Amino acid sequence: MGNCFGARPHSSSKVDNTHPVSASASEKPATKVAGTSGGCFAQSGVAGHQSNDKRKREAPRSEGDILSFPHLKAFTFNELKNATGNFHLDSLIGEGGFGCVYKGWIDEQRLVAARPGSGTLVAVKKLKLKGFQGHKEWLSEVNYLGKLDHPNLVKLIGYCLDGDNRLLVYEYMPKGSLEDHLFRRGALALPWATRIKVVTGAARGLAFLHESEQRVIYRDFKPSNILLDSEFNAKLSDFGLAKAGPTGDRTHVSTQVLGTQGYAAPEYLGTGHLTSKCDVYSFGVVLLEVLAGRYVIDKTKSGMEENLVDWARPYLGDRRKLFRIMDTKLQGQYPQRAAYIVAMLALQCISVAKNRPNMSEVLATLEQLPLVRHSNSTTTTQSMPNSPLIHNQYSPLTSPTRHLQVET
């Protein structure tokens, strides 16, 4: 869930052996872009944000502020305490800026706590009991995930608003997050085909948000917010920073700058003007991370290499040099043409806003990528046969306007 620019306010250690362990805090980038309270600071000089006091006065605090979603279960704090074995350390899955995430067990029929180890596994996110920002993000999460339903968005099962306690109950995602698989020390290398499956699912989720009635801008697209089911289907989580897009003739919404360092689009950082193209930029950064197998900001590197976007950019459009930025964990096991298409797509996504494709164009390109099939020791390449977007769609390799002139 979104929090602040500056020092990452939490570690992400995990203690669950059946669940991939998050990358350690020291490996994570020093994250997040501005918040207003709860230990965060606001980006200065940005148009359109309100003072802390005003935001506090407007802070919705009661059940009545939650839109009515009959399918969401309102849990009591005690129910979730029982479901997680009193938030026992053994149930801890991970920790983010919002608080800790625990495994919990519920009876699916009656939606009540079940004995740990029986019933249905869920993920319970418990808000740290400080700061207005946390409550606002919690509320945003309930109100967005309560009404949006898509296979590439994580399912919210319920919530708890009980005194000062704020919790969220989600479907459990057994493979953890993309971050766990890309960056966790000791993790098995994610094969090329799985990487593409994950980013394609995530692109489908973002395209759905952008094209939904409210034209939702997600604002916190990054590997730790891309959760994975048992078959590596991607689902976006963390709608704490999501925002309804501009309506009528407006080209953008003005906001306080929120998000995560390295993933936020430069024009958004400079002006606070938020458009769906800001998500496209973040998507491009994640594509780069998937290609290179490293964090966008890596303080262990020096000079230009510290920032993946700056370092990788010159190699992306050069078919012969691309291998220099590719994740060595792939050991060269990727189709070069597909890698080049993805690199060109990433380059488009991180270009100036007007030259970025929209998410449905990005999705169409990913869906048309040549698939790699591993059968015994032979590798064959084939096109995806049934993609509805296979013909006449934008492709970074076929669109002269988008592909050849990347302004940066």
Ligand X SMILES: Nc1ncnc2c1ncn2[C@@H]1O[C@H](COP(=O)(O)OP(=O)(O)OP(=O)(O)O)[C@@H](O)[C@H]1O
Contacts of 332 (CB under 8 A, 6+ apart): 323, 326
Per CB under 6 A, does 173 bind ligand X?
yes
- CA separation for the pair 274, 253 (Å, rounded): 5
Per DSSP, the three-state class of 124 is: strand
Per CB under 5 A, does 179 bind Mg ion?
no
Per CB under 6 A, does 172 bind ligand X?
yes
220 flagged as catalytic = yes
Taking the complex as a whole, how short is the minimal distance between the CB of residue 21 and ligand X, in angstroms? 9
- Tell me the per-residue interface mask from 253 to 292 with ligand X, x by CB under 6 A, - otherwise: ----------------------------------------
* Phi-psi category of residue 100: left, alpha or beta, with phi > 0 → left and psi -120 to 50 → alpha: beta
Candidates 79, 141, 179, 238; binder of Mg ion (CB under 5 A) is 238
Q: Which of residues 21-80 bind ligand X (CB under 6 A)?
A: 22, 31-32
* Cβ atoms of residues 225 and 238 within 8 Å: yes
Give me the half-sphere count of Cα atoms (radius 13 Å) on the Cβ side of residue 292. 27
Q: Which stretch binds ligand X (CB under 6 A): 53-61, 172-180, 249-257, 391-399?
A: 172-180
CA distances from 261 to 140, 265, 285, 324, 348 (A): 21, 9, 11, 24, 20
- CA separation for the pair 365, 398 (Å, rounded): 10
Candidates 85, 96, 119, 284; binder of ligand X (CB under 6 A) is 96
- CA separation for the pair 57, 63 (Å, rounded): 17
Candidates 180, 267, 298, 367; binder of ligand X (CB under 6 A) is 180
Q: Which stretch binds Mg ion (CB under 5 A): 43-51, 199-207, 231-239, 338-346?
A: 231-239
**Binding residue count for ligand X, defined by CB under 6 A:** 29
> Which candidate in 65, 149, 220, 318 is catalytic?
220
Residue closest to ligand X, measured at CB: 96
- Of all helices (H) and strands (E), which one includes residue 141? helix 132-147
- State the binding partner of 172 from ligand X, Mg ion, none, CB within 5 to 8 A by kind: ligand X
Paired tokens of 397: 């390799």
Per CB under 5 A, does 260 bind Mg ion?
no
Paired tokens of 67: 């839109």
Per DSSP, the three-state class of 333 is: coil
Candidates 93, 286, 342, 343; binder of ligand X (CB under 6 A) is 93
Query: Where does this chain bind ligand X (CB under 6 A)?
Result: 1-3, 12, 22, 31-32, 93-98, 101, 123, 125, 154, 170, 172-173, 176-177, 179-180, 224-225, 227, 237-238
Catalytic positions are 220
Contact residues for Mg ion (CB under 5 A)? Answer: 96, 224-225, 238
